[in-house]
Amino acid sequence: MRSVVFFLLLLPLAFSAKGQTYADSIATYREQYIKDLLAEPRKPVQPSQIKYISFFKPDVNYRVWATFTPKPGSSPFLVNTHSGKQKPFKEYGVLSFTVNNMPLELHVYQSVSMINDPSHKDDLFVPFNDETNYETTYAGGRYIDMKVSDIQDNRVLLDFNKCYNPYCAYTDGFSCPIPPTENRLHVQISAGEKMFQH
């Protein structure tokens, strides 16, 4: 009996450690994100502006499993950007998932210009808008990056804690894709990067 009681007392600590481990992994991810921003040759952010970049606290409720439905043979189409230019993309598939008990979908895209680039042919792109835009997050939407290899048995782990701002959120001079209307989520995604405060 004493061993059972001891086990029950340890359970909260085990779950706390597990939660902290995930928070640590997100903190590490964000540290690398900042380093990559500073290393970007086009300089979307200056070192003195890093203090104006902020994030929601890590929340496992925005880390969800999604069912992937492939869309083979999709025709290329043009996506508008904030600079007025257009960029060609192909739809790769659709993600179906649930956030806060609400069923949602996001379309996944591949950049046509990168499909034949060996270093980027595995890259997938998920731009989206949600109900936090204009309030706590960038008005022009946010992005999630994925890899083809992330999809296993038509399932993929979708982590909104890793969503980030396009470079256009920081400064002018970039052609950032505007999320297509089909990727408008009519919920608040209070996770990932917040609005740039500079």
Span 51-85, pLDDT tens digits:
999 999 999 999 999 999 999 999 999 999 999 99
- So what's the pLDDT on residue 145? 97
Domain total of the chain:
1
Q: pLDDT class for 198, splitting at 50, 70, 90?
A: confident
Looking at the domain assignment, is residue 150 inside a domain? yes
What's the predicted TM-score (pTM) here? 0.88
116 located within any domain:
yes
CA quadruple 178, 65, 159, 92: dihedral positive or negative?
negative
20 has a pLDDT exceeding 70:
no
Residue 116 has what pLDDT?
85
Average pLDDT value for residue range 133-162: 98
Look at residue 130 and tell me if it is in a domain. Answer: yes
Query: Is residue 12 very low, low, confident or very high in pLDDT (cuts 50, 70, 90)?
Result: very low
* 108 is a domain residue: yes
Residue 177: domain span: 51-183
| Residue 28 counted as domain residue | no
